[in-house]
Structure 1
């Protein structure tokens, strides 16, 4: 009895080696986050220096994600061939090359080339960091460790905003180039640091290297007994899915089985993964991260320093609430956090839409622009026209709603999207399935980032956020009906859970037909 208690206490203890490996692997996400955040402020200076228009700005913002879409699809099979660890090296190398080119950036073509190369790195990084972290973590701490990549993305975004503020004080030609080029330094360091990490034990078993997997599991487990249990579970899963059969390892057969002939359990996991990644960006996060200077400018903040400082505040909020989520995921669970987060996002988007719609009637400084017919009709309404002298409430509402939106998004939707995807796929499809989900994520990211300016010019900036609010309502319903709880379950148990649930559904359907 005493041994069982001691073993339970050991099992609850966070393994330091696993934690260190997860932190190092997640560093690649800091570089990606930095690249995303820094572009938000850099675009202000790039537009002025290179004399480019809003359409080119949209393409510059979104091209990273289109390239990441391709990168994520390649990364899944790459990680199956060369391993999770060396896939992180590939991602770091791509970031290094992309950062050097963007830092050089003598013209728009060179800047776009660097952004594309970095985009391929993003695709690799987004797929591999959560997968690697999930595969070395125990079930007790997997939520906490698997949310580290998303926390690191937020930290990187914050660092990007700080870089905007600091380098924005330099000369026009030098400032934005340093903002983009400095990311090459951590990329180079990570290439060498990753080689000290252990390989994923699940990948090692998948390749028939059971002894190597056993040695890694001893390092990332708190006891020899725990390592043996985890190894036995992995081997059972690999053998039951015939992962050691070379015929099932072919590229075509995996994609065919995943997309065209999936079991009900696999179809459910694929639907859940694609859905959560679709709604993560359909709720407008990229519009807020990339174009927050335009949002703040719309409510009257016109100074470049103040715009960049407001961005830093957003980065702080995002990072703090992701950190809070990291500690709540394994205590509260995925579903409660996700549903609460989405409900908060809905309210914040509606408030932001209301605030921006009212402020558009009372332009500030150089934000004055021709109104759309729908705006003119709204602004002539008595309740709106008579509130002109009290429009400060709308300005305050817009700013507060932006920060509240970021807080709610970061405490649930943001980390759980990646944690959930890394958990639910069977080992056989984990790499290619996660790669496909990330491709959907990048497509939606590109769709929002490359259309936001055009959308708000067509339906007003307030109307755009009302649209995001409507999509957030759909997201809440999807999460409620299709995403079961995975807290505290091993990856092997989650695979069995999806199989049992679909089997139960089939049995009920058969009974009802009879």
Structure 2
């Protein structure tokens, strides 16, 4: 047991790092001396180690165990430091709710109005402010550009290689198609951290939106493949920062209970972009030799309302807090929440966690923050999980369908119109089956969606590849291939589709969120570039059936990686995820192999109702305590 804190004059508030908490013997203990591995740590250094190495898998509210007097002192000091003296009583109540998120009915200091709104956010979790939904919709428009461009290239692949005389140079065709992904992987995503640092989330989305208008339109006026390549490189320059910032923006503004569903609007609009891109391809494929130009240029459409409307949405309050602009942050929280008590609670809770994060992860420059991603254990584990999911999205082979489905159907024997109609079906299925994830991503969980869908996608690709051995004169040959592709897409859309960007956006602490997310997106697009660059040559060398078999196998590889390296993040606040990613990878992997998997086999293979489930995480004072999601890690 650590010694009690020396007496301090009650007239002077304690700094956050020296707040007292009641120990098991009734004596006060330093706030920073209470760790998340053992009940009490002996020093500040041990506390920081505890936040990075959570070997006993405890997820603890940073305010858990503090006395009411200490919480009041913290709230008062917070108000004095940030100019909220007139809101002192509000933040005192908010501090109590932050400490006991499930006990608002028992906190006597709360008003009836406070209880009404806290009760309602549990019974009516979708009852959110118009400002929140407006922000989500506007931000998501930016993701539609990505999907639309992919499908524009899909249709254009049937024409532009012939016009520029490169139809027999498969590597060159692949390089032009993959140019945006190459740029994102090589340069663009890595600029997200400094750009966000200086101009914020809204400013970054606006500036990058400009790159999604003019270079996209420029593609229609190119006279050779070099000019087309340059336009697509400029598109990638904006796209990388945009697709990195949008999920961060939505994750930082959404309530924990529906954060996954709201952040997945990014993928939902990508699916819509793919669908409308295929519609555009069908509309313009008969206009003549210039059809491919219109198909590529049409992708600028979603960027226009994005540029006009983004300034009417509130800035991310967590980014404002990071910059020390607490007054603006509170106004933003009030626009994004239904009541002041909810806004004050979320702000105070985020402030407490931000103070601890700043102590545990001292990254003052871009390069020191970058090195932290590989040096600090908590950040390194978030990296492993996020990169695993991002790379797995490419291993599953979906971008091959987005870029080359028309080419695949042409190889199977379809004409141009039939190829575009079959690809249109792919886009339609991708859009329809993205909707279930709005509900399942926060109830069934991110990890579980991946674990369940990867084997199904592998089976569909094995099936599609095998159908190429049917006689070409068999009228059922191509429809069955299309059916297998559609089923593959139906399993992809609610699982591997929305999860990667949701997961990466929430995995990193606020101090490293931009740089962590940017490097995760960099991995995603680097491998997307590899796929886009190599697939035309793979198709020529391995034939369609070999390419399908290859990606069926990589789906199984991705399943193994996600099973052992990716923890569940559903229904955790962004702050509580610090403790999820503080669990060492060997501890997590061993639990999956020796505890969870045997329980699952007994319970759901042999139907033994007596099988005893042993949870990985031990929850202390967090809002997700006792939820069904705890059965799935």
TM-score of the pair, normalised by structure 2: 0.72
Partner of 1:334: 446
The structure 2 residue matched to 1:235, chosen from 351, 354, 364, is: 351
How many residues align? The count is 473
Q: Give the greater-gyration-radius structure (CA).
A: 2
C-alpha change, 1:404 and 1:214, in structure 2 (3 Å) is: same
Distance, in Å, in 1 between the alignment partners of 2:226 and 2:539 is 27
Distance, in Å, in 1 between the alignment partners of 2:452 and 2:550 is 20
SS at match of 1:441: helix
SS at match of 1:171: coil
RMSD: 2.2
C-alpha change, 1:481 and 1:504, in structure 2 (3 Å) is: closer
On the 8 A contact 2:158/2:407 being kept in 1, the answer is: no
SS at match of 2:181: helix
Gaps of 5+ in 2: 1-104, 106-111, 592-633
Partner of 1:121: 238
Question: Could you tell me how far 1:49 is from its partner in structure 2?
Answer: 2.5
1:345 and 2:457 aligned: yes
Query: Which piece of structure 1 moves more, 490-499 or 435-444?
Result: 490-499
Alpha-carbon displacement from aligned partner over 1:434-487 (angstroms, at most 9, x marks no partner): 100101100110111111111122222211111111111111112222222221
Alpha-carbon displacement from aligned partner over 1:363-413 (angstroms, at most 9, x marks no partner): 46xxxxxxxxxxxxxxxxxxxxxxxxxx45543431211111111111101
SS at match of 2:256: coil
C-alpha change, 1:60 and 1:503, in structure 2 (3 Å) is: closer
Alpha-carbon displacement from aligned partner over 1:57-102 (angstroms, at most 9, x marks no partner): 2111111110122111112331122111111012101111211211
The structure 2 residue matched to 1:161, chosen from 278, 298, 316, is: 278
Gaps of 5+ in 1: 365-390, 510-514
On the 8 A contact 1:37/1:289 being kept in 2, the answer is: yes
Distance, in Å, in 2 between the alignment partners of 1:306 and 1:393 is 14
C-alpha change, 1:414 and 1:267, in structure 2 (3 Å) is: same
1:298 and 2:411 aligned: yes
Question: Could you tell me how far 1:331 is from its partner in structure 2?
Answer: 2.2
Partner of 2:76: none
Distance, in Å, in 1 between the alignment partners of 2:180 and 2:518 is 16
Distance, in Å, in 2 between the alignment partners of 1:459 and 1:278 is 22
SS at match of 2:484: helix
On the 8 A contact 2:409/2:419 being kept in 1, the answer is: yes
Partner of 1:367: none
1:272 and 2:385 aligned: yes
The structure 2 residue matched to 1:469, chosen from 552, 557, 562, is: 552
The structure 1 residue matched to 2:466, chosen from 354, 361, 372, is: 354
Distance, in Å, in 2 between the alignment partners of 1:308 and 1:468 is 23
Partner of 1:7: 118
The structure 2 residue matched to 1:46, chosen from 155, 160, 180, is: 160
Partner of 2:400: 287
1:142 and 2:262 aligned: no
Distance, in Å, in 2 between the alignment partners of 1:64 and 1:17 is 32
Partner of 1:447: 530
Partner of 1:401: 484
Alpha-carbon displacement from aligned partner over 1:31-68 (angstroms, at most 9, x marks no partner): 12111111100121212333322332211111111012
C-alpha change, 1:504 and 1:306, in structure 2 (3 Å) is: closer
Query: Which piece of structure 1 moves more, 235-244 or 190-199?
Result: 235-244
TM-score of the pair, normalised by structure 1: 0.88
On the 8 A contact 2:171/2:534 being kept in 1, the answer is: no
Question: Could you tell me how far 1:149 is from its partner in structure 2?
Answer: 0.6
Question: Could you tell me how far 1:30 is from its partner in structure 2?
Answer: 0.8
